Structures are given as structure tokens and as C-alpha cells.
Structure 1
């Protein structure tokens, strides 16, 4: 019997339709796995509330930040401490959702300084977060304002390229830069092999957050005496593409341009930031030019693996006015030091940092984080007394396992790992013949008179654990083991004596113990005891005859601290308070041997007693206006417990270069109309300039103001214009002090770096979502 072809076609079409419908139904019912992470440090976020905006059905992410949804659609994600986000989820097997921290609820966010999932309010040490909101309160060219609002931190600024950061009095004795404080950009060390740290050259627009660990409380970052500054880059965001551009102009010829590009898909994201900054400077011989290029990419290549690439390049040329004597500071603060002006001294450098990080999740209770990195720096610095040429290359590796388990039915989080770092610094000095040429010629390179090659390396082995004894009590135990060595090769043929040599410091084992107790749901008490150390630089180990001082020892000390943090008055008032004591021995002192030349010696002990208090209060929080205030206060009582330098006994004197107190108060305002602004008052107390305490700097007060207007011009276009005034009342002050300066050839000592008088900046910021 012959089949009817029409019926056959109809049956085939019906079968095909049923098949397609069935496939579509099955596909639409396919569960989509979603993982929610902190947008800055990529820590999984548990207990995130997820709302289906169509059905109004709620669900929550599990302890690993994961959940599944049966249907596509629009969803809202909410978690205390983070900004809520609405996302349209389409068909996909696996989706990553990133949430950004809410600066007004920092106690609820996770800190990433030890890569263990820990709320800030449960931390056992003094950790303070500088959010992007804090950074944007001031101008976008100098990090000084943001850091000096952090209790216990003091940043002195001689120029945009000359700064010194101290934490709890550690680092104040370094004369021209920051030392004894470790810094990391994401997971890449910024501290060189000789212990010097430079963060001021990084573009502020590329930083979304800083976590500052005060004191020797970071086992996994080398147990530095001063602490650790952990910079978090502005991450590339998934599932969005936007372009931002900013132009800033201001006093003293300031002009800065910035371009910020982000592109992200479901699993890959890319961010590139370029900036170009120019300033003529307030003082003579103070011109500054800097270009930066920063790339940050994220790649979630599977549900268990993600890669992160970070690249930072900086090209800098900055002239150096140097310090001046008291008479010039009072009567002619714009002047540069005479010899530096005649030599037209400057710093010309190119530097780069490259890092690749791999995050692998073995299973829900174990993952591995591994980073490889390399960096370079080339610099040429003509100075009145010589010309310094340097070429530094570094590489290293950090890797650790991070896990959690149940111990007596309670959570135990742990990490164990190591870091290896090695850098090679080739440097040499040339004669500066500027005095042999007509005035205005500037520096002229002469014959080479030194040629060195330094190899500096260290490795840290570390272990840290957080154990929840109860839901309210957390105990932390950490241990760091360090091995540091230097090797110096004197390659100058006519060197006498030859300064070649090697030095291995005694291995250091630094323990840490801390405990945190939740008194209420929103208030915690914590206490910790920790050990730290800071090795001298190779230059500090050299004696006047050029030989290595094998008797010199690293500075070591113990930190004792008790504190409290939390919120009261229905979360309107957030507070952070700490009392600490540090006892440092084998104090390293820079003894001057010639103009701008020093050697290091161990000269005694110091005792650092301090009080730190910060308050943030929400005065008004309505749909129309948001008004809040902040107060921070630091009281320093730092003294030489025992300090004998040659024949001089300074025991009992105040520690040089540290203000007695620092006070900040300010108000922020944001309105629904788009108008925003802030005003900040800062008081810096007097500080001893000499170890003998015979000379003190004057206390000073600074008031800064910034106002702006932000408006949504179109659905995807946002415009932000702003105007700021720094040092409104034109206060004369020393923005940095050169401690224990000496006069040579009958000249007066040059102690002072004058700060900027009243100055202005304004800008326009445009953001476009593609």
C-alpha cells in the first residue's frame, strides 16, 4: 500500500515540532550555575540574597558563593557591605557575578590581606581600608591626603616623586624614601630587595582599594616591623563595556589626562588605564612629567580555574628642588637648594611590573593561589655631588594553599605557602661637572668613579590560620620564616679598597597570635601579639672604608595591641579604636659622613606607645541627600628607650620625625540632584627634627575642599565636573622634614621641604557604557 506523501510530510513536521519543543523545554529548564565573588579580591561571597525580579522568589548563595537558577531572567543581588546589583542572566552553563564594596559598611566586607575569608569586624589585628571613595575625596595626583586620614599612618611629601611613609613611627629614620614597610600590588611585591618601597608613582585611577595592616601583624607578607600596604587594582569587570575619560587642570601648571577602558564578557574581562601628568611645581627646579599604562585582565577559564594578568608601566622625569635651610623656608619657600638648582638635579626613570596569577580550586575546601612576577627599573639621577645610574631587574614567585575544615564542628581556615624574591641592581656613579660650565648649563656627566653589582634575595615561608572557637570567638595563629642575603661585586678597576663581599643575615622566625571576640552582632574586641623585623639595606652595611659591616643586625621588635571596631546607633556610627605598644631593638641609625652620604649603625632601642581612633557618622541618609562625617585621631608617644650614637646619649628623647598627634575631621555630602562635596580639616602636631630634641618643627593645620556635580546625560552617558581647593587658608608649613641634617662648608643645615600654598584643581570626568 502506497503512503500518502502529504500525510507523511505532516507527520514529519509534527515530529520535528515536538522534538524542537522538547529540546527548547529541556534547555529552558537547564539549571544555570552562578558564583558570586568580591569584585576586588575575588573572594567567594556567601549568604548573598538573590531575588528573581519577575517572580519575587528569594534564594541565597551557599558558603562557597554558589547557587543555581532554573530560569533565565532579571535578578537582584544583595549583601550587607556591598552595593546591590541587578543583572539579566541569559542562557549559560556558568556565570560569575562581581559585587563592589559599599564604603559606608566596611566592617561587613571581607579583607583579602591574608587570603582567608574573614570579615573585617572579625580581624584580630589593626587593618584599615582606604576605599575608592576615600581616594576620590581629594585631587587625583597625590595619595598623600588619603593616607594621612588613616590613623597611625603619616606620609610626608617633599614633591610628587619624593615621599616618606611611616606607620606607627616605623620608617621615619629613612631620609629620602619609604623603608621598613612592605607593599604589594595585588599579589606582587613592590618592595625592592634592599627594603625600599615606592607606591607614589602608581596611577591613583588604577587603584580601587588599599588595605593597611599596621604593625608586625602580617605573617604571610614578611612580618615587616611597620606593616603592609596592600594595593588592590581596579579590576576588569565581566559582562560590561565602558569608556571613561578625565581631564584635570590646576595650580602650578598641573594638567592630567586619563583614559580608562573596560571590556568584559561572561568569563573574560580586560581593563587598560593610561594617564599623563604634568606639573611645573610650586618651587624652583620642580617640574614633573609622568606617563603610566596599566593593564589588568581576568579569565575564568573553567569553574575551577581563573587567571589574572597585571602589567604596570611608568615613565617619569621629575626635577628635584631638595630641602632648604630655615631662612629660605621662612623668606623664600619657592627656592630650590642652591646646588640642586645649579646642577638642575632630576630623576629620570622607567619602571615596569608584570605579574600572572593562577587560582585553582581543587575542591570546595582547598584551593591554590600562585603568582609569578618580574619587574625592572632604569634610572638616571644627576645630583650636585655626582650622577647615579641604576638598572634593576627582579623576579619572584608566591604560592600557597588555602583550605578550610571542620575541627570540633567549628570552622578552621588555614593557608600555608612561600615567597621567593631576587633582584639584581647594577649601579655606578659619575662625576658631575656642572661647576665647570656656565651657569644654567645644568649637570654634565664626567668620568665614572664606581661600578657595582648587587644581588639581593630573600625567601619567606609562612603559615596562618583562623579558627572559630565559637560563632563569636576567632583565634589566629601565624608564623613567618625569613632568609635574606646580599652579594656585592665591586667592578670598578681602580677601586681601593675593593668593596666586594657577601652577607647573610641570621634567619628570622616571627610568630603571631591574635584573638577576636564579637561582644554583640556589630561590635568586636581584638588583641594580638606579633614579632617583626626589618633588615638593613646593603648600603647601610658598608663601613666608611668600603668594607661590609658583618656585625650589623636587623631591627627586631614585638607588637602588643588591643582594639575594638564596630557600629552602634542602628549602624549610624562606625568606630575603630586601638591601643598599642612596640618595643624595637637594634635601632638602625643613618650617621652622616659627607654631604648626602651616610652609613648605618645599630644604636639602641625605641618604645612606641600609641592610641588610634576613627569615627564615621551618618548624619542624614535619605533618598534626597546623604550627609556623613568622619573623625580620626592618632596620639604618638614614641621615645628612644636606649640610644647612644658615638659619644651622644639620646636615651629618653622623643623619636625623631614623628608628630605628637594627628587629627582629621571632615564632612561628605551627596544629593539626588547630583551635587556632592567634602571638606576636610587636618592638624599635624610638632615633631622633633634632631635626635637631641633641640629643634622641633611647628604644628600646622590644613583645610581642603572639593565640590562637584554628576549627572546622567543619557541612558549610557555620565558627566562629572569638580572643583577643589587645597590649603584654603594658605598655611605655611613643612610638608617633609630632613631629620638630623648637617651643614657643610659653613652653610646652614637644610631641614625643610616647603609645602604648597593655597592651590586649585578642577576637572571633568566622562563615562560611557557601550
Structure 2
């Protein structure tokens, strides 16, 4: 017989059930990160759209918000300097939300995220940010037009595979590569044990953002005299999958394809990118074939642990036309240097890079970040004077302990850590017998001339602290480096030399003060150094030069960052003075080889400015303009060689001025366009200052149209041109080339007027 509850009791139980359902609360947890850098964002506002309740993320970028919804909740995530996002979240899920930086509030964007996070406007050093839109504003094959818009940075590009990046004049005399500048790719060093950084070997499509720290002010990154370039890889978006195909065709046989597949889940993502580039080249003996494969992946394991992985493979074969003397440069710029043409000189490079980053959050205060990395590099390079065969294997580990402590009216962030780097390098040189064979044969290897093993190891210890109180920010840093080389000539097993550079301690002190919400002043004093490259430590016969020393210098700088209240005008200005001692200078020998010596002292004084103005903004179109400028006064202060006094001469290989003017338009209908004008001053080609390259002006432009078909398919069609006025200019100098002023081969001809067109297809899976 069924039991019947009294009617009063039934209503009471029903009331309890309904009350529980009405009063039940559910929790949504998540992490907010920067899409470009993958770093967590503190103080992002998380708002429940329905209830209007709001909270902010903590120092680790995490949040926990209460909702009464049993199924799903709509959240709005916002942070100054980033695009606001609205997401639908299923109750009980843990999510990762990636915000995109805005273009009109870059000073609010978080920089130096790999170590201590800080808003750009609060930094005590000169930092430039190159965002994804800037990277894609050119043909995405050449890095030089992008970097040359940054005040203080100058990239010379003789060919697609012959480049040199200088920052504030540092590294201008490196023969064929970028030296004296540190470079990192997601906390993985790109600078090898040789002290050289081949940033251009990376596929531009794998980079989402660049940070350029000018001068030796980044204590956690090796305090290179020129500065540090931090590259952030592109990661897949969370909760989205897509496939992309880019194709570019252009002048001089340019054909480039990039294929990308991305998949992002709620807590993990993976990005696969393959690229293939071919160019016939403007000059004789100038063709290039390059293929790259890159994988990036990120995984939020749990609340305390995050893992990321990076793998990159590059295969490059590029023929070398080399530099020309003035007569050939002016009259026959398409020719290769005769000896390089006859030898069919080229470089055949295979590079592999792997790295794993691990972040562990001990608690709200302490975080440990550790990176383990390795690389394998092989190079075969026939040259007129010999054939070089190189092999290098590197391994390293890098770790930092970061802490954040907030007080009532102030905060303290600090980081301590270290880096170990091991580089095993072997170089063999063979006689090149090309002259003994018929024309057109190219290089033929003969007897071995040298077989050198070099172990290049260093360790860095570093510490940084940033104290902020209301409008004032103070930063302190200390860096210790010890570098050791072991060199053995294997053809003579008894010949082995050990050389340990003196330990170098590099301090820094910086200050930033907010005069108002729209105006910040900053200044810093920093010490830096740059050790010689392998080539610079050796005589042409392969013997080690025990007298070679590291360059050292002190940088003094003051500057400001500012914007109007409505942010139509934003900008920055820096004034600096750097004194460098024991400067490394390369001399070209009669056989086209290099010998390096410590030249004395140089002075690097300059002014840098970057101003951006919003000319127009309405519902249909936005138009921006920018002016970037560098005024340089770089000179030898003390330099005497073979009874010749170069003191007072202009520093070799850098221009007196670089000015960039640009305008960019973005339409809501999908049309876009950009034009950039660059004026570069004359540059001394030798220390005697008897030969200068001419000043030149370039105009580059690109227009395009992008749109969607349905909700899943998107396309982007563009066409562009470089050197629109078809100016003749030297795109790179071979400084101090051997010979007299008439026959010395100083000049790499720049590309004349050239065009390209591209199409990008994207499909959401």
C-alpha cells in the first residue's frame, strides 16, 4: 500500500528543491594569455555578461568566477591594450582565453614577458615592439624592410642569405652575419657559441611578435652591447582549428609557398608550418632554395604546470655573388664578383632546433621557468680561397625563479637564474681547385688545409628586480658571464689551446616616472659586452689569437613615452651615449680572408624618435601615419693601426641618419594599403673614411583586399612593390675590403624596382 505524504510536507520538500536550484552556485576557472607571446596577463577584467559580476586575473593570469547558470555562461574579457573578447563557457570547464594586442595602445602591451612582465610604458629601457601586422606588411620573405622601420636598428641585406643587423652601430663590422646582439626564440637562444645570430633563417610566418631591447639593458639575456631581439613563435588559437595556404610570386623568379595547420583545444594547441622559397636572384650566381618546417605546441597541464615545445628545421642552398668594386657596382650591378662566379660559390646549410619550456607555479608568489634546448647545424661552403665544411652541435639549459610581491601601494618583482651553453664546433678547410678545371665546373675540393675542433662554452648568472610605487618604477640588474674556448688543430694532434675570457660582471640601473597618465620619463645606465666570434678568434691559418678580447661598453640613456588623451598621437624619444672599448675590427687580406683586432675605443651617440598619428577614423576607414628616425654620431675615439691614426673618423658601416615615413589605411570593407618611404644617409666603407656609399631613398608599397565567404572560409589577395622609384643603392657594405679605393669590393647592389603578389586562403575546420 503506497504511503501518502501530507500535502503540507510535499509542498515543503518541493520548496527546498527549488530553493537549492535557485541558490546553487557554479564556478568557472580559466587563464588569460597574450595570443602573440603566450604569456599570462594579470589584471584582465572578467565580467559575467548576464549578472554583471566582475573579477580580475591574478599575477599568473588565472581567474575563478561564480555563476548560477547550470549549462553555459557568457563572459566578457577585457584589458587595456588588448582587444575585448566575449566567449561562451560551459559551466564547470577550465578555459584558456587568448587576447590580441590592439594597434592604438601598444604602450599598454606587456613586454619582456619571458622574464619579468611589465607594460611597455613602464619600462626603464628603450624597447620596440614589432607586431604581427607589421611582419605581414611586406612580402614576408625579406626581414630587412620590417626591421629598418625601428629607430636605432639597421639591417643590411646583400642577398637573401647575406645579412647583417646592427643596433645603434654595434655589429657593423661583422663580415657577413649578425654579431654582438643576443637573439632568443621563445626563450631558446638563437645566438650560437660563435656569438652570431641568423634570425633571417627562421620563417617569418612562424613569428607572431618581436621585441627589440636596444642597448645592453636586458640583464637576463646576455647583455649584448647592441641589445637583444626576442622572437615570439606563433601558437595555435585555443578552441579553434584551421588550415592556411599562402602563395607569393614576384620579380627575379620569386616563388614562395607556406602551408599551415593549427589545432587548439581547451588546454592545449599545436601549430604546424611548412614553407618553401625559391628565387633566381637579381644577380649572377644568386639563386636560392630554402625550405623550413616548424612545430609549436603549448599545453596547460594543470593549475601549476605549463609546457611548450618548439621544433624547427631549415634547409638552405644559396649561391653567393659577393660584393663588387665601385665601377662594377655602378655599371654592371647584376654581375657576380668574378672569382665567386668562377668558383660557383654557395652555402648549403642544414639547421635543426629543438626546445622545451616548462613553467611551474609554486604558489601565487613564486614561478619557476626552465628551458632545455639543442641544435644541430651543418654547412658546406665552397669559396674562391678554400672550401669550408662546418658542423656544430649545441646543448643548453636555462632556468629562472620569478617572484611577485604586492604591497598596499607598491609591488616588487624579481628574477634570478642562470644559463649553461655548450657548443661543439668543427671546421675543415680544403683547397679549392676550381682554377685547375674548365670554366663552368665550379668548386672542386682538394687537399685538406685545416681541421679545427672548438668547444665554446659559457655560463651566465643573472638577477633582475623591478620595484613599482605609484608613479615610480625602479629596476636593478646584474649579469655575470664566463666564456671558455678550447681549440684543437686535428691535423696536428699535439696542438690544443685553452682560452678562458675574463669573467665579466655587467650591472644596470633604470628608472621610470609617470609625469601623468599620458607621459612617462625613463633613463638607464647599463654595462654590456660582446665576445669575439670563432672567425675573429682565429688567424687565417687557423691558429688561435690569444690577444683577442671581448668588447665592453657603458650605455647612458634618457627618454620618454607619450600619447594624447584620445591616443590619436603616440610616440617615444630616446637620447643615448655609449662608450665602447676594445672594439673588434675586421681587416680583409689579399686572399679575401679576414683578420680581426681590438681597435681601441668608439663613441656611439644618438637620438631616436618614433611617432604614430591617427589621421582618420570613422565607421568605414582608419588611416595611420608614422615617422621613425635615428640620428647617429658614431666615431672612433682612439684607434691607431700601422702608424695610421683613425681617431675622430666616422665609424665604419653605419649611416649618419635613417628616416622612415609611412601611411597605412584599413577599410571595414576589407581593403587595405600601406606605403613606406625610407631615407638612409651615406656610410663610410673603410676606417680611413676615404670611401663612402651614397645616401639613398626607397619607397615600398602594398595594397590588398580580404574578405570571408560564409563563416569558415577567408581569403586575402595582395600586390606590392619595393624600390618603386628604381633607385640604385648599396644594400650592404663589405667594410674594409682588401685593395685600394678603386678596386676594393665594398658594395652589394640593392634590388632595383621589383614586384610581388600573393594570395592567402584560410579555412576554419
TM range (shorter): over 0.9
The answer for the alignment partner of 2:475 in structure 1 is 476
Distance in 2, matches of 1:23 and 1:184, equals: 57
Instruction: Return closer, same or farther for 1:594/1:408 CA change in 2, 3 Å cut-off.
Output: farther
Instruction: Return closer, same or farther for 1:377/1:23 CA change in 2, 3 Å cut-off.
Output: farther
Are 2:747 and 1:752 equivalent residues in the alignment?
Answer: yes
Deviations 1:402-445 (A, max 9, x none): 00124685211000000010110111011212112211111112
Which of 60, 63, 67 is the matching residue for 2:64? 67
Are 2:762 and 1:763 equivalent residues in the alignment?
Answer: no
Distance in 2, matches of 1:680 and 1:409, equals: 44
The answer for the alignment partner of 1:727 in structure 2 is 723
Deviations 1:256-306 (A, max 9, x none): 111111111111111111111111011111111111111110111101101
1:692-707 to 2 correspondence within 5 Å?
A: 692-707=688-703
The answer for the alignment partner of 2:339 in structure 1 is 339
Distance in 2, matches of 1:683 and 1:677, equals: 21
1:192-211 to 2 correspondence within 5 Å?
A: 192-211=192-211
Are 2:513 and 1:517 equivalent residues in the alignment?
Answer: yes
Structure 1, 182-191 or 130-139: larger mean CA deviation: 130-139
The answer for the alignment partner of 1:266 in structure 2 is 266
Distance in 2, matches of 1:408 and 1:626, equals: 41
Distance in 1, matches of 2:527 and 2:558, equals: 15
The answer for the alignment partner of 2:395 in structure 1 is 395
The answer for the alignment partner of 1:11 in structure 2 is none
1:324-363 to 2 correspondence within 5 Å?
A: 324-363=324-363
1:701-720 to 2 correspondence within 5 Å?
A: 701-720=697-716
> Which runs of 5 or more structure 2 residues have no equivalent in the other structure?
5-9
> Which runs of 5 or more structure 1 residues have no equivalent in the other structure?
9-13
Which of 637, 653, 660 is the matching residue for 1:664? 660
Judge conservation of contact 2:132–2:209 (CA < 8 Å) in 1: yes
Which of 638, 642, 647 is the matching residue for 1:642? 638
The answer for the alignment partner of 2:25 in structure 1 is 29
Judge conservation of contact 2:211–2:231 (CA < 8 Å) in 1: yes
Judge conservation of contact 1:41–1:112 (CA < 8 Å) in 2: no
Per-residue deviation, 1:57: 4.8
Distance in 2, matches of 1:341 and 1:32, equals: 66
Per-residue deviation, 1:528: 0.1
Deviations 1:360-418 (A, max 9, x none): 00001110000000001011111111111111100000001000124685211000000
Distance in 1, matches of 2:101 and 2:124, equals: 21
Judge conservation of contact 1:172–1:658 (CA < 8 Å) in 2: yes
The answer for the alignment partner of 1:629 in structure 2 is 625
Aligned residues: 756
The answer for the alignment partner of 1:97 in structure 2 is 97
Deviations 1:705-727 (A, max 9, x none): 10000111111111110000111
1:165-314 to 2 correspondence within 5 Å?
A: 165-314=165-314
Per-residue deviation, 1:327: 1.0
Distance in 2, matches of 1:687 and 1:24, equals: 79
Which of 739, 743, 746 is the matching residue for 2:739? 743
Distance in 1, matches of 2:234 and 2:114, equals: 19
SS in 2 for 1:178: coil
Per-residue deviation, 1:742: 1.3
SS in 1 for 2:200: coil
1:573-652 to 2 correspondence within 5 Å?
A: 573-652=569-648
Judge conservation of contact 1:289–1:317 (CA < 8 Å) in 2: yes
Distance in 2, matches of 1:754 and 1:267, equals: 50
Per-residue deviation, 1:56: 4.9
Instruction: Return closer, same or farther for 1:716/1:126 CA change in 2, 3 Å cut-off.
Output: same
Judge conservation of contact 1:185–1:231 (CA < 8 Å) in 2: yes
Q: Please, what is the CA RMSD of the aligned residues? A: 2.3
Per-residue deviation, 1:54: 4.0
Distance in 1, matches of 2:411 and 2:387, equals: 58
Judge conservation of contact 1:114–1:220 (CA < 8 Å) in 2: no
Distance in 2, matches of 1:435 and 1:138, equals: 42
SS in 2 for 1:247: strand
Structure 1, 89-98 or 131-140: larger mean CA deviation: 89-98
SS in 1 for 2:516: coil
Distance in 2, matches of 1:113 and 1:687, equals: 36
Deviations 1:117-139 (A, max 9, x none): 21000000001101111111111
The answer for the alignment partner of 2:7 in structure 1 is none
TM-score, normalised relative to structure 2: 0.95
SS in 1 for 2:566: coil
Judge conservation of contact 2:326–2:742 (CA < 8 Å) in 1: no
Structure 1, 446-455 or 218-227: larger mean CA deviation: 446-455
SS in 2 for 1:146: helix
SS in 2 for 1:459: strand
1:416-435 to 2 correspondence within 5 Å?
A: 416-435=416-435
Distance in 2, matches of 1:102 and 1:723, equals: 25
Are 2:547 and 1:551 equivalent residues in the alignment?
Answer: yes
Deviations 1:535-592 (A, max 9, x none): 1124323346654332322110100000001211521101010000000011112233
